[in-house]
Structure 1
């Protein structure tokens, strides 16, 4: 399959000041809007999404990592691998690592996914995320 550089455009919605969100589906079971954050190393999911994916057997535990929050607090967070992540309607990314932070509701589309569709670009007028190396949704994935 040939992939196209900058071949997929996903509309973003603006919420608040300079925060943009895109629709994302986690392995066919959890539909969400994630904040686009190029400063985040990982996709970040909340505990509710984690539990839903666990119930359906759609993720694997990988490791724990330590880090520092913006407020200076040290944290240890678990990292899980999600087999398939669909950005927008038609950009499938495989084996995406996601961090789970306790007590947070905001979910983030970070570099663990975005680097798989690099090069990528953000346009703010109109608000779009422009991706490369996307795979189209297969019939098998659409059935799950």
Structure 2
């Protein structure tokens, strides 16, 4: 949603850095394709399952809708951080609240903690943006087969599930 040239440069560097070893890419998450060029991955927000987020390297933040925020608030798994201004893909300027999600699980096997998310009212499309993807960099996208390939993931374990 918030596209910045520096963000795109960061993603490019992740793919081109000569010191990246294949072993760093330890977690593969299948993506589902919807439409012409949009890919989605399953994501669980601290016990709130059934979410499929669009992978968007042009978005600075994970974005969630008000319904997901309300569920996380009920469980005490989200904290307000700040408001930020940005420019939407259509050129419209907007101010949105940012919340910190305690735990996010990408696919089955990639636990992230303290992920910042922008909240948009009235949207069904939630986005897996760079506030999460930076935590698993370097990362790669494969379109055939459609996979998101991540580094530095914390696997799901019984000890993590209790937190």
* TM-score, normalised via structure 1 length: 0.93
Count of residues paired in the alignment: 141
| 1:5-59 C-alpha deviation (Å, 9 max, x unpaired) | 1000000000001100000000122430000000000000011100000111110
What is the deviation of 1:83? 1.0
Structure with the larger helix share: 2
Unaligned runs of 5+ in 2: 1-22
Moved over 6 A (4+): none
Match among 85, 93, 110 for residue 129 of structure 2: 110
Give secondary structure in 1 for the equivalent of 2:24: coil
Question: Could you say which residue in structure 1 is the equivalent of 2:73?
Answer: 54
Question: Could you say which residue in structure 2 is the equivalent of 1:93?
Answer: 112
What is the deviation of 1:80? 0.3
* TM-score, normalised via structure 2 length: 0.83
Question: Could you say which residue in structure 1 is the equivalent of 2:34?
Answer: 15
Q: Does 1:28 align with 2:68?
A: no
